[in-house]
Structures are given as C-alpha cells and as structure tokens.
Amino acid sequence: MFYSPIILLYDIIVLAGQQKFDKALYFQNNFKYNGFAEEKFSVRKNMKKMDLEEREGKYVQSVERVLNIVEVMAQEGTPVTVTDLAEKVGLKISTVHRLLSTLTHRGYVEQDPDDNKYRLGLKLLEVGNAALYSSDIRSVARPYLEELVERCNETANLAILDKTDVVYIDQVESKNFIIVKMFAQVGNRGPVHCTASGKALLAFLPDEKLEEILNQTQLTRFTNETITDAQHLKKELKRIREEGYALDWGEREEHVRCIAAPVFNHEGRVAASISVSGPSTRITTYYMKNELVDIIKDIAAKISHRMGYNANGKNGNGADRPVE
C-alpha cells in the first residue's frame, strides 16, 4: 500500500502532539517514502520515543514561566508594569501579557485599572495559607532532628509551649552505646524556667505574654543550677534573645546538659524549640560552646525556613520578635 507524503506528514503532526512543527518538517524532508508500512510505523515509533524523552527529561516551559513571573512579583513587593516584568523574566511583552491575563482570570494576579500595573492577588494568600496550615511541625522537623543526631550523636528533641509548660512532642535518640535516660521524653511536660527548650520558647515571646507566663510560674529548684530568681531568669532570657540559643547546665537534672534554639513560623512567632541533650561527660563546656551552638542554630534556621519564616522580614513591623 502506498502512503503519500501528505498522509505521512499528517500522521507525524498528530503523533507529535504539542511539539514544535519543525520536528514534522524534519521527518518530511529527510524521510524517503518508499511505500512500505514498516517505515511509517518506524516514524511513528521514533516520534513517540522523542515525545516521551522530552516529557520525562524536561520541565513544562509554560509552568516555569508562570512561576518565574509570580516569584519576581513577590520579590518586587510592589505593583509592576508588564514591560518591567517582561524585562526581569526575560520574555517578550506579548508572552508575559498573555500569561498575566490567565493569572488575573484565576485571581492569582490583580491589575490596577488606574495605572495598569500588576500585583499579586489574594488567591495566592489562600493557597499559601492552605500549605502552611497543613504543615505539621513534627513532620517538617523530623528529618532535621535526624540530621541533628547524625551531626552530634546526642539525643535531639522537639518541644512546644503549652500554657506554662514545655511539652516534648518528638525525639530522635542518640546512637551512643551508652544512652542516658533523661526527663525529656515524648509526651512529657516540664518546667519552662529550667530547661533549655523552655527558655528558648520563653525568650522570644511578646513581652506581655512573657510576663503573663512568668507570673503564673513557680521557679521551683530542682538542682543547684536551677534559676529561682525572676530577675536572673529575665537576664538570661535577654541573653538568649541576643545570641539565639538557650543553655541548661543541669538545671532540671543533675549531670544532664542541653542546648536549644527557637523555631519560628511564617508569622515570625516562635512555634517550637529544638534541643540536644546528653550527659555532662559528653556534652562538655568546650563542646557546647564551640560546636553545638553553631549546629543547633543551623538546624533551627532550616526548620524555620521550611515553616515559612523570613529571617530578614522583621515580622513586617521592624521588630526582631513579635509584638501583640
């Protein structure tokens, strides 16, 4: 059976789908039509293979372009013209205008009718909030707790504040041959004033909330290292705010030391604290000050970033910590 060039060209275009027309022209110009069905099948097979490789090996260009536009608009922070946007994303004005029209139609972008500039729409806020509130801090933090244990080989903890208590909600144990069982266990509640996790949470609270909790907290002594004076505690909390980490020199349990750092959420509020705890024989003063400080702050910053925290945002009001 004879297959005309027109029929074969049509088949090639259909098989190519959304691919560029020059692929079809390439086969039209280079394929010798000798009338055999096997060769038509070969063309079709090659085109399918090329399509599959392109789908699997590349990103979708139009989606990449849309996301670039949205990200540039977010970075700008102010309404932009289509001309400026096209220059920043490296696309033709007509292409950017077409993509903006679709984004505007769906509510992800809004256009000011007075100056025709574009800004991000409220739909993005809706989508962003859905992503943030669906994030369980335990699932977000878990791989970083594991990284923390890998880096220092001591037990890593995740804790939150519940009224006047610190509550441990996750833990990855040390792989040391000798494991010291400590008070910090998943589900346990502890005093905020004598645990590194608790002090890291207290230090970054708004002043009014901090005073409320301190007024309801009994500064009970557990060891000789426990801080039982309110002014002493406030001085220590001030240091924690300035330096970004909290220490426990055996204030809750003798011979157990701990270092903690705060985790912030997308609103710039302290959402949790992570800590490393272990026996004082392994967590020496030198080790704590010269190695663990940098490690715990680095891990806390990674979790905060995953929670949507912008370290340079100053919470939108120029403050280093939230105010109410």
Q: What pLDDT shows up at residue 139?
A: 87
- Amino acid identity, residue 217? T
**Could you tell me how far CA 106 lies from the centroid of its own chain?**
26
| 71 Cβ contact list (under 8 Å, min separation 6) | none
308 Ramachandran zone, left/alpha/beta (phi>0; psi -120 to 50): left
User: Per-residue b/e over 67-93, b at no fewer than 16 CB within 10 Å?
Assistant: ebbbeebeeeeebbebeebbebbebee
**Which pLDDT score, from 0 to 100, does residue 74 have?**
87
What pLDDT, on the 0 to 100 scale, is given for residue 127? Answer: 81
pTM of the model as a whole? 0.58
Render the burial of 160-181: b for 16+ CB within 10 Å, e for the rest.
bbeebbbbbbbbbebeeeeebe
Indicate if the alpha-carbon torsion angle 285, 288, 291, 293 is positive or negative. Answer: negative
Distances (CA, A) of 241 to 84, 93, 159, 178: 41, 48, 18, 34
Encoded amino acid at 263, one letter: V
Q: What is the pLDDT of residue 173?
A: 85
What pLDDT score was predicted for residue 69? 94
Looking at residue 136, what is its pLDDT?
81
pLDDT at 183: 66
Q: Position 15: which residue type? A: L
DSSP label at residue 80 = B
Per-residue pLDDT at 111: 93
d(CA 241, CA 190): 21
pLDDT given at position 141 = 92
What is the residue-level pLDDT of the chain in tens, covering all 324 positions?
444 444 444 443 443 443 444 444 444 444 444 443 444 344 344 444 444 444 445 689 889 999 999 989 988 888 999 999 999 999 999 999 999 999 999 999 999 999 999 999 988 877 876 665 555 888 899 999 999 999 998 899 999 988 888 888 888 888 776 555 666 667 778 889 989 999 999 999 999 999 999 999 888 899 999 889 999 999 999 999 999 999 999 888 888 899 999 999 988 999 999 999 888 889 899 998 899 999 999 999 999 999 888 877 544 323 344 433
Query: Under 8 Å CB-to-CB from 294, ≥6 apart: which residues?
Result: none
Strand partners, 110: 119
| Residue that is written with structure tokens 């406030």 in the block | 234
Strand ranges (DSSP E) for the chain?
109-111, 118-120, 155-162, 165-172, 189-191, 246-248, 256-264, 270-279
- Tell me the C-alpha distance between 94 and 85, whole Å: 11
